[in-house]
Amino acid sequence: MSHFCVNCGATLVPRVIDGRELEACPNDSFVLWRDPKVATAVVVEVEGGIVLGRRSIEPGYGLWCLPGGFVNDDEDPADAATRECLEEINAQVELTGLLGVYHIPKTGAPSMVGISYRGRLADGARLAAGAEMLEVRVFQLDSLPPLAFPSHERVLAEYLRSPARAEAGELRSGVATARHVSPPSRSRAQSRPPRRR
């Protein structure tokens, strides 16, 4: 598929920049940077188990997944995570920790940067399937169903070996006091000139 310069309309041509072949304008400085999408996933802990939803849309129709989704361009990732929980499991969720940040490679679409969190239901919140779910359920960790996405399998693997999970066990037994994490601060650090898209 051909792409075109946003400045002059010329067909972009291959150009090697910083050791990578990218599409660039032959007439000016426009470069089509292929940036990854950013997505979130939340391991919502409930009564010793975790919340999963069974998808009502593709990809993965009928399969189970963690609540989560894409971050909007004007949105803090932590805010996106709680918004996606509200949309998918119809419940307000409080984030209690960051599980990890990782790369999700794709072949037919832009790659993604995944940001995963631990969370818990806010006081009084009840689970119900949102528009993108057929149903939502709490699963015990020793009886999880097959998941729709390899990236969610990775999140759960990291969750199961996370030291924070041991802390969660203490929280349930009343040994420790829960901490609410605030969203990360926004940094304006730049490692290269701003990109024109």
Across 15-24, 61-70, 165-174, 184-193, which has the greatest mean pLDDT?
61-70
CA atoms within 13 A on the CB side of 107: 0
Instruction: Output 162 or 178, whichever has higher pLDDT.
Output: 162
| Average pLDDT, integer, range 139-150 | 95
Q: What percent of the chain has pLDDT over 90?
A: 74
State the first-to-last Cα distance of the chain, in angstroms, to the nearest integer. Answer: 17
pLDDT in tens, 54-108: 999 999 999 999 999 999 999 999 999 999 999 999 999 999 999 999 999 987 7
Tell which wins on pLDDT, 148 or 180. 148
Q: What domains can be seen in the chain, in order of their start residue? A: 1-34 (2.20.70), 37-173 (3.90.79.10)
Let me know: does 48 contact 143? Beta carbons within 8 Å: no
Specify burial of residue 139 (Cβ count, 10 A radius: 0-12, 13-18, 19+): middle
Tell me: pLDDT of 15 over 80: yes
Q: What is the pLDDT of residue 172?
A: 41
